[in-house]
């Protein structure tokens, strides 16, 4: 009859990965903004002889991924405190994964053949935290739904229990008036 017990693994996982994504998102936004600024300056300094537009586009995708990671981190930290908000975390987690994969893939196509291992390492490292974040968000959402169902069942049971004595009292009082 006490509070329904919930598994806090999802909340802990979401809090941890949300914190990591918040930190990596801040770092990524700053680093990719600097990279984009350097590429634009290099393009202007060379007078457009070397085209850095594809590199700028790839860095732009990675900047967007870092921004999505930052947003995901903030939402993950909030959802760890209020698990009913974990559904938004799943959406932003997928957005982060897709943008990271697109950005790294775009950069990968521009790299020489010997640098493939760097891009593969970037994909793996860039995908691990968002993937674990998605697992935490899914567990947190599932746990919140289970807690809501348990609370609804407990409320229904309590209401049913309060109705039973009232019916018993009515039947007792009605039988006392019978001849």
User: Could you report the per-residue pLDDT of 123-168, keeping only the tens digit for each?
Assistant: 777 788 889 999 988 888 888 788 788 888 888 888 877 765 544 5
**The pLDDT value given to residue 22:** 92
Whole-angstrom distance, CA of residue 124 vs CA of residue 144: 30
Domain-embedded: residue 152: no
Whole-angstrom distance, CA of residue 166 vs CA of residue 146: 31
Q: Which CB contacts under 8 angstroms, 24+ apart, belong to 149-153?
A: 150/4, 151/4
Tens-binned pLDDT, residue by residue, of the chain (179 aa): 444 445 577 888 889 999 999 998 999 899 989 988 988 888 888 876 766 777 778 788 889 999 999 999 999 999 888 888 888 888 999 999 999 888 877 777 776 665 666 667 777 777 888 899 999 888 888 887 887 888 888 888 888 777 655 445 555 555 554 55
**The pLDDT value given to residue 103:** 80
Token output for 155: 């409320």
Whole-angstrom distance, CA of residue 19 vs CA of residue 16: 5
Domain-embedded: residue 172: no
Q: Which helix (H) or strand (E) holds 106?
A: helix 86-110
Total tally of structural domains belonging to the chain: 1
Domain-embedded: residue 2: no
CA distances from 84 to 9, 37, 115 (A): 15, 40, 43
**The pLDDT value given to residue 73:** 93
CA distances from 173 to 161, 163, 164, 169 (A): 19, 16, 14, 6
Domain-embedded: residue 164: no
Residues 6+ apart with CB under 8 A from 33: 63
Domain-embedded: residue 131: yes
Residue 58: give the domain boundaries: 9-141
Domain-embedded: residue 160: no
**The pLDDT value given to residue 23:** 93
């Amino acid at each position: 009859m006490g509070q329904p017990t919930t598994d806090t693994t999802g909340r802990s996982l979401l809090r941890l990965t949300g914190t990591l994504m918040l930190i990596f998102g801040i770092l990524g936004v700053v680093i990719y903004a600097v990279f984009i600024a350097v590429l634009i300056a290099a393009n202007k300094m060379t007078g457009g002889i070397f085209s850095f537009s594809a590199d700028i586009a790839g860095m732009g995708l990675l900047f967007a991924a870092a921004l999505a990671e930052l947003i995901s981190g903030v939402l993950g930290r909030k959802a760890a405190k209020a698990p009913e908000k974990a559904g938004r975390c799943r959406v932003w987690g997928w957005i982060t994964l897709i943008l990271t994969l697109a950005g790294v893939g775009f950069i990968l196509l521009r790299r020489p053949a010997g640098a493939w291992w760097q891009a593969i390492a970037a994909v793996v490292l860039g995908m691990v935290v968002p993937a674990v974040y998605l697992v935490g968000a899914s567990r947190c959402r599932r746990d919140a739904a289970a807690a809501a169902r348990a609370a609804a069942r407990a409320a229904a049971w309590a209401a049913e229990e309060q109705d039973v004595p009232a019916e018993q009292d009515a039947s007792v009082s009605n039988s006392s008036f019978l001849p």
